[in-house]
Amino acid sequence: MKEFVIGKNDEGQRLDRFIGKAIPLLPPSLAQKYIRLKRIKVNGKGSRRDYKLALGDTLQCYINDEFFVKPSEKDAHLHIREPKLDIVYEDRHILLVNKPEGMLCHSAVDYSYNTLIAHIQAYLREKGEWNPADENSFAPALCNRIDRNTQGIVIAAKTAEALRVMNEKIKNREIDKFYLCIVHGVPKPSEGTLTDYIFKDASKNQVYVRKTPEKGAKKAVTKYKTLKTKNGLSLLECELVTGRTHQIRAQLAAAGHPLLGDGKYGRESRNKPYGESSQALCSYRLRFSFKTDAGELNYLNGREFSIQKIGFIKKYFE
């Protein structure tokens, strides 16, 4: 049991709304149920959910300790009251979601519950496809990640077997990933392959491109094709042959064509006239190209999925 004494900053609030703020891990539906069953009391008595709290009121909450623990990545889904997902494809094994620009895939160093994986887990919990209480170790998980300020398709596994297979296929490059981006200038030639060596500085979360091999650098290969040019900008389609951190952003910048809005690898002086503060990059298409057995996921082989609504394309290349 945990008690709360209502102070000056809390008085006047509805009971159910106060509970939602004071115990954020407690799902709203369960909070309403506990109020109804008098497991949440005001001054030792049952109360209505719309009761207006008064200064000095004491709340007794007969609620499991798990709802009072400090929030962490694994229970972030309990914070999500209304999961918001742009679902590209879903079946009983996997979920393909269009992650919006500005959303983290996972929480960063500073804890945040408004992440893609939290929304996915909350969504599957609401559907009844996943119940943490019934699992010993598995939770729905992301198979790939993209940067916070990059929009695009992310694969989530609903089952442990799907997670194992997808991780294996990504590692063995049996899933083709295509991106759309806008760059400064006009690449010459208009179509080609960038082959470089990328060194990652984890402390700065930044990579450096080298033209020749060196210790600690990994080979990075990106195929690109110019689709349109307009007003000093070019729309490119890029295919990842390898999957290095910030690969497209860093390689194109090193080639003299940084992404529009990219403050890390581009120049502020080139981005300022456009007023863009995040990179014009979207992981818009993927294709399952299994070369080896995928077990229960063999039905996906040869299938391709894409997203059509990409804000920066509409803005600059209608």
* Amino acid letter, residue 49: R
| Residues 146/283, Cβ–Cβ less than 8 Å | yes
Residue with tokens 């390898």: 242
Query: How do residues 38-55 score in pLDDT, each as one tens digit?
Result: 999 999 999 999 999 999
Q: In the structure encoding, which two tokens stand for residue 169, read together?
A: 């296929």
In angstroms, the Cα distances linking 4 to 27, 32, 127, 300 are 18, 17, 33, 52
Residue 107 has pLDDT above 80, yes or no: no
Question: Which of the two residues, 288 and 201, has the higher pLDDT score?
Answer: 288
How would CATH label the architecture of 175-316?
2-Layer Sandwich (3.30)
Q: What percent of the chain lies above the pLDDT cut of 70? A: 95
197-201, 275-279, 302-306: which has the highest mean pLDDT?
Answer: 302-306
Rg (CA), the chain: 24
| Residues 181/259, Cβ–Cβ less than 8 Å | yes
Residue 111 has pLDDT above 70, yes or no: no
**Fold observed for domain 73-171:** Pseudouridine synthase (3.30.2350)
Give the pLDDT band of residue 205 (cuts 50, 70, 90). Answer: confident
| Residues 15/46, Cβ–Cβ less than 8 Å | no
| Residues 207/201, Cβ–Cβ less than 8 Å | yes
Q: Report which DSSP code applies to 66.
A: G
What lies within 8 Å, CB to CB, of 270 at 6+ separation is 184, 258
Query: How do residues 227-275 score in pLDDT, each as one tens digit?
Result: 999 999 999 999 999 999 999 999 999 999 999 999 999 989 999 999 9
Q: Residues, the chain, total? A: 318
pLDDT of residue 314: 94
Residue with tokens 């809390």: 10
Pick from 145, 89, 83: nearest CA to 113: 83
The average pLDDT across 99-104 equals 93
Spatial separation of the C-alpha atoms in residues 173 and 144, rounded to whole Å: 12
The average pLDDT across 216-226 equals 96
Domain chopping of the chain, boundaries: 2-68, 73-171, 175-316
Question: Which of 71-75, 81-85, 117-121, 310-314 shows the lowest per-residue confidence on average (mean pLDDT)?
Answer: 71-75
Q: In the structure encoding, which two tokens stand for residue 257, read together?
A: 């064509």
pLDDT of residue 281: 98
pLDDT of residue 71: 55
What lies within 8 Å, CB to CB, of 198 at 6+ separation is 207, 208, 209, 210, 217, 218, 219, 220, 244, 245, 246, 247, 250, 251
21-30, 50-59, 199-208: which has the highest mean pLDDT?
Answer: 50-59
Give the pLDDT band of residue 166 (cuts 50, 70, 90). Answer: very high
CATH of 2-68, one of 3.10.290.10, 3.40.50.150, 3.10.20.740, 1.10.287.110: 3.10.290.10
Helices (H), the chain: 15-22, 28-36, 116-127, 160-171, 247-254, 268-271, 311-316
Question: Which of 65-79, 90-104, 146-160 shows the lowest per-residue confidence on average (mean pLDDT)?
Answer: 65-79
Spatial separation of the C-alpha atoms in residues 295 and 54, rounded to whole Å: 60
Q: In the structure encoding, which two tokens stand for residue 95, read together?
A: 């979920």
Residue 305 has pLDDT above 80, yes or no: yes
Q: In the structure encoding, which two tokens stand for residue 5, read together?
A: 């004494």
Residue 110 has pLDDT above 70, yes or no: no
CATH fold match for the domains 2-68 and 73-171: no
Residue 23 has pLDDT above 60, yes or no: yes
The average pLDDT across 282-310 equals 97
Distance of CA 92 to the CA centre of its chain: 20
Residue 109 has pLDDT above 70, yes or no: no
